[in-house]
Chains A and B, each alone.
Chain A
Amino acid sequence: MEDQMLNRTIAPAFQPINKLAIHEPESFEYANGLKAFVFQSPELELIKFEFVFENHFDTHELTLMNTALSAMFKEGTSSRTSGQIADEIDFLGAYLMPEYSFDHTSLTLYTMHKHVAQVLPIVSDILQHSIFPQKELDTYVRNNKQSLEISLKKNDFIARRLFYQNVFGDNRYGAVPSPEAFDAITRESLLKLYNKQIQPSNCTLFVAGNVTKDVLAIVDSIFGQQWENTYSDRDKDLFVLGEVKSQIITDFKAESLQSAIRIGGHSINREHPDFPALQFVNTLFGGFFGSRLMRNIREDKGYTYSIGSAAVSLQHAGFFTIASEVGVDVTQATMDEIEKEFKLLGNELAEEDEIALVRNYMQGVLLGSLESIFSHADKYKAVYYSGMDLSYYDYYADVMNAMDPLKVQEIAHKYFDYDKMVKVVVGQLN
């Protein structure tokens, strides 16, 4: 029994947050160049297989080829129609999801352990024998042109597009879709890219879940032995980052009730030693519900439903971005407040209390992000593609612990210069 009257004004004592313990995977390398990382969680009935391919760009970078390649993967092989692939996968209760990001194209399979032997041969077929039927390509192009038309009615979509174009310029990160670019995709060019890119020597496989011996044997046989490289002289592709001109770009929309705002610019990526500290300052500034931007612009002024910022790490670059949608009548006021917050971040030292809160919050969220074995694989993947290993997370923890008001200010001076950023407003800036 609790005998004392409860004093509800005093917070219960709290404990330090435990450090992250990420499973080290088993790794395999096959003769065909395929690399595999295996994350074990025997109690799970599900398994995830993620085949990740590095993107290659050999023609003009503004094409949508890699996006189309990923979307068209499962639309037919030399022995299966698009419909047959869909039926077989769905019948087994599996999920087969092609994904595309700036740097990678991947094919992810989630399946129940009991169906692995039936479902992996379908994936193997897709990785080796896709034929990209013209009819399916026509459907893809038709539907994507239509959904692009709809997206172009959304201010946040237009703002994001203008932002990427102006921050990255004429390369893969700055490329945005257009109806003409969809029309320019041909079956031949897709096949060419597929033959070049979807090869075991360009693939890393991440397997997580109940990866039993028999599952490993299937992987070894289908993907390690039977999958042959049919393309080898892949060049290391060159990436040129565009210049960023600090400017305000506006796109006036007379009918809009809200304006979409994007502010940001180039930044560092995970390989840079400052990256964890940058993530810290980003979180404090705009990266969570208790951030300065959110507290000021939503919770104090009520100008928006949401405002947030992010520090994003890509293979060849990094960028910082702020995004919000705000009432047209308060768009200028919001821009002013954002600018004020930048100045404050650089000019005044943050309080220790605020730093402690952000640190604990980030440690808690990181701990909570390790939900299942799949998240262990994701964490590993993130550092792997930055050329690092799991010791990065120890370094990350050390940086978190060492953050203090001076360090926050130093990072602010280095990476949070409002005057150098691109500002995009789609809607009305009065």
Chain B
Amino acid sequence: MTRANANRACAALLAGTALIAGAAAAQEQGGTLRVGITQMGPTPDPVVTTFGVNWMTAMNVCEGLFVLDESWTPQPMLVEDYSYSEDGRALTLTLREGLGFHSGAPLTAADVVASLERFRTAAGIGASFAGVTESIEAVDDLTVRINLKTQTPIVPGLLAGGQAVIMSAGSIEGHSATDAVTGLDCTGPYVLTDYCPDQGVTMTRWDDYQPVDAPADGEAGHKHAYADEILFRLMPEASVRRDSLITGELDVAMSLPTDFYEQLESDPNTRAVTVANNQSLTAVFNTQQGVMSDVNLRRAVYHALEMEPIMLASVGNPEFYTIDGSWIPDPNSFWYTTAGIEEFGQPDPALVEKYLAASDYDGEPIRWLVATEQYQKHFLTAITASQQLAEYGINVEIIEQPIATYLQTRANPEAMDAFSSFLPTYVDPTSIAYLTPTYPGFWTAPKKMELMDRLATTIDPEERKAIFEEVHALAYDTFPFIKYGTESNMYGVREGVQNYATSAVGGDTFYNFAPPAE
């Protein structure tokens, strides 16, 4: 599509938006699903950014070699079959036969190699993938071999994320991992028709899509593609998303504050949908230098905190959070564990006194960063925690910064002692950002590094779980970061929307949502 055509398409898209209020129609297949979203990236390309919110379009248009099922376990999507070599240092993938891209080109091993080579140079999970792979080669048209630096079971998990999508080699030719493509030539059930930055997205059902012959399960299995069209409408203001849902201008309103729960439930045309165990609300400490590098002060901070008031201040409604210490927030995950946790959430003044006495802390302020754009999750948790810590003479200086400044400041170990953050469920513990030594907080304790190396190279799942439990217990002994609790997400749907998701897995996918019948 030329730029001029794209602009005209944006105008038509905008025109359509205002005129279709309340006019959706669908039963089995058909109709338009209109989704109010909170944010969108300047381009639909998921490879160029680690901000997960910008992967939303690609999640519905593109597919990876693997996807996640309800238990956060990688399942084949574009792959028919895969196997490791005897020495465990090569992973051979056989692609499903007869698949193609929206452009009409067939899916071949060359496309997979081109996409994965690009992904290897991307930030975030791409860098983890590069860390374990030596090379990627096309064995024949439908076979790809990934040569590994050492034996490791984590590759399917790394390839199940939203960034590891397979695009046709021609569409990404000449585009590095920081040079975004403006269209997505992918294999998913919807074709990207229009992408208007800061306005919205139109996706049209692709009739040649070939689903997996298995029941839908999270992102895995059959993709029904009920709606003829899926429209994303950017509505940053939460009350506008709610009002648009009530008036019938939207079928789905994403990420609503829990304050709206009663209103949505009391309206006969709308319903509040809770996605439980969505993410952990956290604080991360600078373990490398400064006041919080003192392990006894970190222990004192943890034992001084009562998590219930902190979560209540942030979330506002007790039905939307749990006081749970697992670093894997979703209990459906194989990796969920409470190893090392004793009586989570309750303060212990005696232990606070003990660890403060053992620390070198003499009342200096702890520089605690919060991002302005994350007021609810960052500021409210930090301010409540700081009030609790003040009772023990632990002083917190909250530094509120715009997100761009916050990201830069927290990367500088000299400029901060702690920052507020959050953490979703990861498919594999080796991908957890906080456990990466270069992630702000810089947790490089030798014991943890050794455990993480073992975790990356151990094959047996039960053995790996035991190793992760050791890491988990270590985190609950030395507190490089602390968790306040697990937060649910809430979104609203119009009466008549069917098959909507209530799981954090695939929360940004809409191919299995059926729009309301007329």
Whether A and B are associated in the same complex: the answer reads no
